[in-house]
Amino acid sequence: MATTLANASHLRYASATSHEVFMLRRHLLALAVIAAPVAASAQTQEVNVYSARHYDTDAQLYEAFTRETGIRVRTIQGDADQLMARIQSEGANSPADVFITVDATRLARAAQAGILQPYAIPHVDERVPAGLRDPNGLWFAITKRGRVIMYDRQAGPPPGLTRYEDLADPRFRGQICVRASNHPYNIALATDMLAADGTEATEAWARGVAANLARPPQGGDRDQFRAIPSGQCRIAIANTYYLGHVGKSESPADRAIFERIGVIFPNQAAGDRGTHINVSGAGLVKTAPHAEAARRFLDFLVSDEAQRIVALGNMEYPAVPGAPTDPILTAMGSFRADSIAALLDPARAAEALQIMQRSGWR
């Protein structure tokens, strides 16, 4: 696991948000910290973040927080399951203050494992919609990403492909590229299917998708839609932000691929459930040694500046309504999103993975 340090505690405080109410609350919170006992105040000069996010823009996020507060951010990066196991093994002596991951099911698992405590920040609850927060106040979403169907614009949208369920139709035999079934993004999608359609229908769907694969699952999401122009597949299943990164690339070859790829936001008909989304989210570790600093960091994650950094910098949809979305994502089209409620049951996610693996989707 890599350890990184945002060495910016010497920088002066410089707020970047124009929201007056937000700033008033921020200053009140700062005064509360200053007024605390000296020993507690000393503890607030750093916050330790265990993060399963691995994006360059997150360094900008940490630096912006340090500029504003003088609090250093130390990060441990790794796989979410490994980070959770580490927090549990470290026990009461864990240095972890904040846990961040990129999958709602893993956030739910962290809550079930008892490694999180209520963050108790009213401003977070005001900014982030209830459907993107833990009902017990243990975590909240930072960003969203849609898992969509992609196709070759030159060939046109595949006829009859408007829902995830349609991916199992035999008319698409040998046409689909998708990564391995055991990746969290595919587990989440199958979990959503299981909640919506039930076990029997999800079994049939997974078998149909496996039968329609153009090749054995391989690589990441970018590899799926990159295989479309070469004719290896006609349809790809991938997350929106991967295509967004290709569209924003300085490489002419990447931009040509972006222009070639069309996007279908599935399940948009009236009465249908909407396009599947997943979230990046954060929670306050139960044994956080720097709890007050951690709460200031969590509060910062929903600020105008932080939402701009993660949304525009990493091509994700912001969790805070009204925060900016990159024009490249906007150009892909608007959509109605499904709820993430189905993803908050780790047992259902485990069943979804078993279904996919039994189906032959490896």
Q: Which residues are annotated as a binding site?
A: 54, 241-242
Rounded CA separation 351/362 (Å)? 15
Torsion of CA 176, 178, 184, 187, to 10 degrees: 20
83 CB neighbour count, 10 Å cutoff: 23
Q: Quick check: 105 and 112 in contact, CB under 8 A?
A: no
* Binding-site sequence positions for Fe cation: 54, 241-242
Exposed, middle or buried: residue 299 (CB in 10 Å: 0-12, 13-18, 19+)? buried
CA dist 45 → 65, 325, 346 (Å): 12, 32, 35
Structural tokens at position 227: 């295989």
Query: What is the C-alpha to C-alpha distance for residues 269 and 126, in angstroms, rounded to an integer?
Result: 30
CA angle 355, 357, 360 (to 5 degrees): 110
Across the strands, what pairs with 117? 284
**Contact indicator for 136, 111 with CB cutoff of 8 Å:** yes
Token pair recorded at residue 162: 């408007």
Backbone phi, psi, residue 162, to 5°: -130, -10
Beta strands 98-101 and 46-51 are: parallel
